[in-house]
Amino acid sequence: MLSNTIQDALNKQIRVEAESSQIYLAMACWAEVKGLEGVSNFMYAQSDEEREHMLKLVKFVNERGGHAKISQLNAPNVTFESFKQMFEKLYEHEVFVSQSINELVHITLQERDYATHNFLQWYVAEQIEEEAVARTILDKINMIGDDKGGLYLFDRDIEGLTVTTAASDIASE
Ligand code: OFO
DSSP assignments along 91-155, one per residue: HHHHHHHHHHHHHHHHHHHHTT-HHHHHHHHHHHHHHHHHHHHHHHHHHHHHHHTT-HHHHHHHH
Per-residue pLDDT band for 1 (boundaries 50, 70, 90) equals: confident
Q: Confidence band (pLDDT; 50, 70, 90) for 43?
A: very high
CA of 98 to the centre of ligand 1 (A): 8
The stretch 58-84 carries a mean pLDDT of 97
Is residue 95 within 8 Å of 144, Cβ to Cβ?
no
pLDDT at position 74:
97
53 lines ligand 1 (CB under 6 A): yes
DSSP 81: S
Relative to the CA of 50, which ligand 1 atom is closest? 1
Residue nearest to atom 3 of ligand 1 (CA): 94
pLDDT higher than threshold 90 for residue 167 = no
Which pLDDT does position 147 carry in this prediction?
86
For 87-101, the DSSP string reads HHHHHHHHHHHHHHH
- Is 134 touching ligand 1 by the criterion CB < 6 Å? no
pLDDT given for residue 20 in this prediction: 98
Tell me, yes or no, if the pTM score tops 0.85.
Answer: yes
CA 151 to ligand 1 center in whole angstroms: 25
Residues 6 or more apart in contact with residue 103 via CB below 8 angstroms: 9
- Amino acid at site 157: D
- Taking residues 130-153, report their average pLDDT: 92
162 φ/ψ sector (left φ>0, alpha ψ -120 to 50, else beta): beta
